[in-house]
Amino acid sequence: MKPETEKLLAKASRAIDAAKLLLQAGDADFAAGRAYYAMFYVAEALLAEKGRRFRRHSAVQAAYGDEFAKPAVLDPQFHRWLLDASDKRVLGDYGVEAALTPDDVRAMLEHARALLAVLHRNTLRVTLAAGEAIIVEGFPRVCRIASRCSTIAPPRDGWLRCRGTSRQSAGPGGLPPGPPSR
């Protein structure tokens, strides 16, 4: 994982903690902003891992959708949560009257934690014949990096195998598996 990615994921964790504190203090509007930023930092981290950086929130949201939601590399619901959280952040930051409830923010925090948990617990760096890709266990859909590899087989014995090639990609805990199986 790139250092920038690690920093963004740590920042996402801190944003979740800050949102919880703000919510406990009765500041649902401001807590919504921190919950959104937690999701935003995770989206930035995923894109940074692919070498992509953007200056605008809308660009990050669109690129996340194109790279991870549309091809179903990650559950498309995560993209919907990011977009909804962005709308709620704007409402909380710029609305004159308190429009967000603590329940709204709690749901946003659950969504942020879910996205962060998927990455912290299940992301494997997979080396394939034609390059590298991030494969998230539980969403082993499409491998767009290796032209000879169209899908990733669900783990049978703890190892992910790329269908269409004999290469083993990663093993339990993301450790290199040793020589490819034939």
Instruction: Write down the pLDDT at residue 1.
Output: 79
Domain boundaries, the chain: 3-122, 123-174
The token pair at 19 is 């949102």
CB 152 within 8 A of CB 136: no
- Closest by Cα among 22, 136, 33 to 78: 136
What are the tens digits of pLDDT across the range 10-61?
A: 999 999 999 999 999 999 999 999 999 999 999 999 999 889 999 999 999 9
The residue-averaged pLDDT of 63-90 equals 93
Instruction: Write down the pLDDT at residue 61.
Output: 97
Instruction: Write down the pLDDT at residue 72.
Output: 87
CATH of domain 3-122: 1.20.120.330
Q: Say whether pLDDT at 75 is over 60.
A: yes
Please give the span between the terminal C-alpha atoms of the chain, in angstroms, as a whole number.
28
- Contacts with 79 (C-beta within 8 Å, 6 or more apart), sequence order: 61, 64, 65, 68, 69
* Strand order across the 151-153 sheet: 151-153, 160-163, 168-170
Q: Say whether pLDDT at 140 is over 50.
A: no
What's the chain's average pLDDT?
Answer: 75
